[in-house]
């Protein structure tokens, strides 16, 4: 079992930046691919970004490519999502996800999730 706790959400104006953090506990963090999903009101949860356990492979949704950056610090059991040039359509609850591989996160959303953190971007 992997326990994930997100932080860093909040209210920001369009064009601003936020950095989300997700700290994992339980099984060995470095064994897992990590990623982020989001769910806007009235919409299905969607993939945002994922990074392999060794950081070699990184994937982004087209809607955030060039604006968001996922990184991880295995020594701190933490994965980050740096969000720049935020848009109102980025407003959602953001969830941290863990899985055996990045494809699991990209296709099925991962095996473990945090409780989510709210990001609101005002226009």
User: Token pair for residue 29?
Assistant: 């963090």
How high is the pLDDT of residue 15?
98
Task: For tokens 């999730």, name the residue.
Answer: 113
What separation in angstroms does the CA of 9 have from each of 52, 65, 76?
23, 19, 20
Beta bridge partners of 104: none
Query: pLDDT digit string (tens) for 68-115?
Result: 999 999 999 999 999 999 999 999 999 999 999 999 999 888 889 999
Classified as helix, coil or strand, 42 is coil
**Long-range contacts from 69-76, C-beta under 8 angstroms, 24+ separation:** 70/34, 70/35, 70/36, 72/34, 74/29, 74/30, 76/23
């Amino acid at each position: 079992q992997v326990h994930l706790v997100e932080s860093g959400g909040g209210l920001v104006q369009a064009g601003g930046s936020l950095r989300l953090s997700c700290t994992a506990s339980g099984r060995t963090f470095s064994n897992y691919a990590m990623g982020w999903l989001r769910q806007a009101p009235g919409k299905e949860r969607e993939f945002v970004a994922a990074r392999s356990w060794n950081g070699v492979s990184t994937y982004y949704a087209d809607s955030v490519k060039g604006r968001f950056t996922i990184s991880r610090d295995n020594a701190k059991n933490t994965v980050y999502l740096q969000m720049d040039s935020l848009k109102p359509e980025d407003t959602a609850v953001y969830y941290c996800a863990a899985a055996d591989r990045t494809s699991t996160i990209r296709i099925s959303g991962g095996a473990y999730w945090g409780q989510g953190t709210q990001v609101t971007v005002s226009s």
